[in-house]
Amino acid sequence: MSIDPHRLWRSRLKNGLQTLLILASLALVVALPGYLLAGGLGVVASLVVVMTGVYASSWVPARVILANAGAGLLERHQAPTLYRVLDLLYRRAGLSDSPQLFYLPSPDLNAFAVGSGDNGGITVSDGLLRTLTLRELAGVLAHEVSHLRHGDTRVMSMAAAMTRLTLWLTTLLQVSLLLMLPLILTGEMTLPWGVLLVVAFAPTLSTLLQLALSRNREYTADLDAVTLTGDPEGLASALAVLERHHGRWLATLFGRQPPTDVEWLRTHPPTEERIRRLMAAGHQHPPLHSHLDEEHVQAPPEILGYPNPMDRRYWRHRRR
Q: What is the pLDDT of residues 94-112, one digit of tens each?
A: 888 888 899 999 898 999 9
Q: What is the rounded average pLDDT of the residues 223-233?
A: 88
Percent of the chain with pLDDT over 90: 21
Q: How far apart are CA 135 and CA 132, in angstroms?
A: 8
* Model pLDDT, residue 77: 92
* Model pLDDT, residue 128: 94
- Strand 101-104 to 111-116 pairing: unpaired
Per-residue pLDDT at 37 exceeds 90: no
* Model pLDDT, residue 72: 87
Catalytic residue among 144, 243, 272, 295: 144
Q: What is the rounded average pLDDT of the residues 270-292?
A: 75
Q: How far apart are CA 229 and CA 3, in angstroms?
A: 12
At 258, the pLDDT band (50, 70, 90 cuts) reads very low
* Burial readout 118-129 (b: 16 or more C-beta within 10 A, e: otherwise): ebbbbbbbbbbb
* Model pLDDT, residue 6: 61
- The tally of CA atoms less than 13 A away on the side-chain side of residue 192 is 19
* Model pLDDT, residue 254: 41
- C-alpha distances out from residue 83 to 99, 137, 228, 272, Å: 8, 12, 15, 30
* Model pLDDT, residue 153: 84
DSSP notation for 246-263:
HHHHHHHHH-SSPPPPPG
Asked if residues 226 and 278 have their Cβ atoms less than 8 Å apart, the reply is: yes
Q: How far apart are CA 159 and CA 209, in angstroms?
A: 8
Instruction: Tell me if residue 144 is catalytic.
Output: yes
* Model pLDDT, residue 159: 87
Asked if residues 147 and 127 have their Cβ atoms less than 8 Å apart, the reply is: no
Q: Where are the domains of the chain?
A: 5-316
Identify which of 130-139, 237-246, 252-261 has the greatest average pLDDT.
130-139
* Model pLDDT, residue 186: 79
Q: What is the mean pLDDT of the chain?
A: 80
